[in-house]
Amino acid sequence: MRHLLGTRELAYDDALRILDTALEFSDVANRTVPKLPTLRGVTMVNLFFEDSTRTRLSFEAAAKRLSADVMTFQVQGSSVSKGESLKDTAQTVEAMGADIIVMRHFASGAAHRLAQSGWVDAAIINAGDGTHEHPTQALLDAATLRSTFRGDPRGTNLEGLRVAIVGDIAHSRVARSNVFLLSSLGAHVTVVGPTELLPKGIEDWPVAAHHDLDAVIDEGPDALMMLRIQRERIRGEHQPASGDYVRNYSLTPARASRLPSDSIVMHPGPMNRGVEISSEVADSPRSVILQQVRHGVAIRMATLFDLWGGTS
300 binds ligand NCD (CB under 6 A): no
Q: Please, which residue, 109 or 269, has the CB nearer to ligand NCD?
A: 269
CA 189 to chain centre: 16
193 binds ligand NCD (CB under 6 A): no
Q: Please, which residue, 36 or 275, has the CB nearer to ligand NCD?
A: 275
Distance CA 70, CA 90 (A): 15
- The one among 21, 38, 43, 137 contacting ligand NCD by CB under 6 A: 137
Evaluate whether 269 touches 296 at the Cβ level (below 8 Å). no
Q: Please, which residue, 157 or 205, has the CB nearer to ligand NCD?
A: 205
The 216-255 contact track toward ligand NCD, x by CB under 6 A, reads ------------x-x-------------------------
Burial of 42: CB neighbours in 10 Å, binned 0-12, 13-18, 19+: buried
Distance CA 169, CA 233 (A): 12
**Least distance to ligand NCD, CB of residue 274, Å:** 16
**Window 20-59: residues binding ligand NCD (CB under 6 A):** 54-55
Distance CA 285, CA 257 (A): 12
Burial of 275: CB neighbours in 10 Å, binned 0-12, 13-18, 19+: middle
Q: Please, which residue, 174 or 298, has the CB nearer to ligand NCD?
A: 174
Binding residues vs ligand NCD (CB under 6 A): 54-55, 128, 134, 137, 173-174, 228, 230, 268-269
